[in-house]
Amino acid sequence: DFVKETLKITGMTCAACSARIEKVVAKMEGVEEISVNLATEKAVVAYDPGRTTLDQIKERIEKAGYGAAEIQ
């Protein structure tokens, strides 16, 4: 089963930023789907918690040069 979570993304300044994040996260093991909205600075990600974690997804986004935080 997949879990769907929303992350707040900071540091995006153009549409290619959101596309970059979608590309790198979509390649991750266990990630089913990701959609990044540049205007709202939110990412919705569906993943298999048995194969990856939200922390790993956040770390991958940070490694790409952006901020990623869980929305409370």
Helix residue spans in the chain (DSSP H)? 15-26, 54-63
The CB-of-26 to ligand 9UX minimum distance in angstroms stands at: 16
> Which token pair is 51?
């194969």
Cα dihedral 31, 54, 37, 24, rounded to 10, equals -50
Q: How far is the CB of 64 from ligand 9UX (least distance, A)?
A: 8
Encoded one letter per residue, x for contact with ligand 9UX by CB under 6 A and - for no contact, window 16-45 reads: xx--x-------------------------
Q: Which residues bind ligand 9UX (CB under 6 A)?
A: 13-14, 16-17, 20
